[in-house]
Structure formats: C-alpha cells, structure tokens
Amino acid sequence: MDTLFDLTEETLILAGTPVFDADGLFQLLFRFLFNFVVVGIIIHCFYYPKSKRRDFYFTFSLINISVFFLIFLLGSVKLKIGFALGIFAIFGIIRYRTESVQIREMTYLFLIIAISVINALSIQISYAELLLTNGIFLLVTWLLESERWLKHISCKLILYDKIQLITPEKRDELMADLKLRTGLNICRIEIGHIDFLRDSAFIKVYYEGETREINTTDSMTRLPREGE
C-alpha cells in the first residue's frame, strides 16, 4: 500500500510528489538563468536600441519567462496532453495581438519563443551543444542587426503633387525636388499609384537615416481610425 510519506535516500516524497529535488531544482534554475541571459541580450542589445519600444520589451521578456516555464515543467511530465498544450500555447501567443504588429517584432517574438523552447526541452543534449546553439542565435542576430554587415536603409511613402516629374526622362529632376523638399538623403525611389484626376502619385523613397532607430510610421498613408 502506498503511504502518504515516503523517505528515500535522495528526496522526500509527499503524496507521490517530491518535496525537494536538488537535481531538478538545479536544472530549472541553471537553464532559466541561461535562457534569461541569452534572450535578455537579444532584447536589450539588439532589438531595443533601434525600436525604443518599451511595450515590446516588456512583452518579449514576459513571454520568454512564460514559455520557458510552460515548456520546461510540462516537458518534465511525460504526458502527451502536456506537449499538446505547450504547442497550442505557442501558436496562440503568436496570433494573440490587439494591433497590427510589424514583421520585425513578429520575427523577434518567434525567435524568443524558439530559444525558450529549445533551452527548456534540450535535456538530452550536452551543455556544450546548448551553448553553441544559443551562441549561433546571438551571432546571427548581431550580424543581421549590425550596420557593418548590412547598411540600414529606411523607406517612406510620399503623396507627391508634381506629377509632371514622374516620367523617366525627368527622374533626376524628381530626385532633386524630393531631396530638397524632404531634406532626406534619398538613394532610390519607386513610383506607385498615379491619380491623374488629382494630379498626385504615391512615391516610395529609400533613404539613409541619421539614426539607427526604426520609424514605425514610415509606411503609413493615413492616420489610423479609432479602434484600429
């Protein structure tokens, strides 16, 4: 007959559940701190300097902690329903949003969830392999965010009124007028929708910005309505 208390050499069992498991507690704390540091570097050193979005900083940090504990604790319990719940939670988090999230934020969100899941479930691999995997994530993210590897080019949508300058033979004159009126160091332009009735056209300009920060309103063509 099972007893309420079961004292073994390694741990005290209370109603079938260990009261204190030193090995499990060490694994939990070590992997959590390791994962928190890696994801913290990505958020604080790579994402935040350009976006300056404190709301996403807050969101990414809490999602990192939530997903890690969810996957780690469910992964330690060998139940198929646990893994199904973990997978459902991951994709549910990705779809749960109250506003239109930019592709950069969605990419960082997926990256953070992926790292959290890897660090929580990779119990069977060595610490060297785990360190190498996280190191590759950090290195690739740093390279892609670094201007030494890729030069940052911003873009902006402009509703342009001098429609007589949009012809190919007047491209240089159009570029000069846009640089003069916007004050931007424009390197390339694309002409989009043309409205001959209103003598206007949408022009997408690519320019080299003086700051590394991401301008989230560059692609807006109108002010969002209330509730959007």
Q: Is residue 215 part of a domain?
A: no
Burial 48-66 (b: 16+ CB within 10 A, else e): eeebebeebeebbbebbee
Residue 5 has pLDDT above 50, yes or no: no
Domain of residue 64 covers 5-145
| Average pLDDT score over residue span 170-175 | 90
The CA distance from 16 to 2, in Å, is 9
Task: Tell whether 158 and 104 lie within a shared domain.
Answer: no
Span 3-32, average pLDDT: 65
Do 95 and 139 sit in the same domain of this protein?
yes
Across the range 66-92, mean pLDDT stands at 63
Instruction: Write down which residue in 125, 145, 165 finishes a domain.
Output: 145
**129 and 179 co-located in one domain:** no
The pLDDT value recorded for residue 87 is 59
Q: Are 89 and 116 in contact (CB under 8 A)?
A: no
Res. 83: pLDDT tops 70: no
Are residue 15 and residue 128 in the same domain, yes or no? yes
Residue 75 lies in a domain: yes
CB 205 within 8 A of CB 155: yes
Would 212 be classed as within a structural domain? no
Compute the half-sphere exposure of residue 219: CA atoms within 13 Å on the CB side of its CA.
7
Whether 161 has a pLDDT exceeding 60, the answer reads: yes
Q: Which residue has the higher pLDDT, 209 or 186?
A: 186
Contacts of 92 (CB under 8 A, 6+ apart): none
Task: Give the tens place of pLDDT for each residue, 108-158.
Answer: 988 898 898 888 877 778 888 889 999 999 999 988 887 766 676 778 888
Total domains in the chain come to: 2
Let me know whether 170 and 58 are in one domain.
no
Domain final residue pick, 123, 145, 167: 145
Q: How confident is the model at residue 42 (pLDDT cuts 50, 70, 90)?
A: very high
Q: How high is the pLDDT of residue 33?
A: 93
Rounded CA gap, 158 and 205, in Å?
7
Q: What is the pLDDT of residue 124?
A: 77
Structure-model confidence comparison of residues 94 and 104, the more confident one: 104
Let me know if residue 21 belongs to a domain.
yes
The residue out of 145, 173, 193 marking a domain boundary is 145
Q: What is the value of pTM for the model shown? A: 0.64
Helix axes 103-121, 22-41, angle to 10 degrees: 160
Tell me whether residue 64 is in a domain: yes
Which of 42-51, 107-116, 218-227 comes out lowest in average pLDDT?
A: 218-227
Q: Answer yes or no: do 161 and 118 share one domain.
A: no
Residues 182 and 105 placed together within one structural domain of the fold: no
Using pLDDT thresholds of 50, 70 and 90, give the confidence band for residue 221. low
Whether 222 maps to a domain, the answer reads no
Whether 120 and 202 share a structural domain: no
pLDDT class for 223, splitting at 50, 70, 90?
very low
Whether 215 shows a pLDDT value over 80: the answer reads no
More reliable by pLDDT, 145 or 180:
180
On whether both 13 and 124 belong to a single domain, the answer is yes
